[in-house]
Amino acid sequence: DIQMTQSPSSLSASVGDRVTITCRASQGIRNDLGWYQQKPGKAPKRLIYAASSFQSGVPSRFSGSGSGTDFTLTISSLQPEDFATYYCLQYDSYPWTFGQGTKVEIK
């Protein structure tokens, strides 16, 4: 199985800060990676797919990059509604695997 190592597990940041979350795959997964946002008591919502692509409706402050084994989710200017837990998901091979999550908290 492919292991996804996400870091940090949590971070504290202020509104307006630039935030970066990383995900490392235990083997190459091309660009078969998505990023999801989950708020307490709610279902996850997809932010990014194919490592760097996003559908309409996702704010442009969210961006993704990477290929192979190393991936990054960046929030360019953190907004109050962005405080949540973020997960990466590899879908290159079964079983699909999630990172352990990064909780973004208010500083």
Q: 30: alpha, beta or left, given left = phi > 0 and alpha = psi -120 to 50? A: left
Compute the distance between CA of residue 3 and CA of residue 26 in angstroms, rounded to an integer.
5
The reply on whether position 46 binds another protein by CB under 8 A is yes
Q: Mark the segment that binds another protein (CB under 8 A) among 20-28, 40-48, 61-69, 76-84.
A: 40-48
72 Cβ neighbours under 8 A, 6+ residues apart? 20, 21, 22, 23, 64, 65, 66
Of 31 and 72, CB closest to another protein = 31
96 vs 25: CA distance, rounded Å: 12
Strand, helix or coil for residue 29:
coil
3-state SS, residue 76: coil
User: What distance lies between CA 45 and its chain's CA centroid?
Assistant: 11
CB of residue 32 to another protein, shortest distance in Å = 6
Among 20, 50, 52, 61, which residue interacts with another protein (rule: CB under 8 A)?
50
String of contacts with another protein for each residue 61-80, x by CB under 8 A: --------------------
Stretch that binds another protein, among 13-21, 62-70, 72-80, 95-103 (CB under 8 A): 95-103
Judged by the rule CB under 8 A, the positions of this chain that interact with another protein are 1, 32, 34, 36, 38, 43-46, 49-50, 55, 87, 89, 91, 94-101
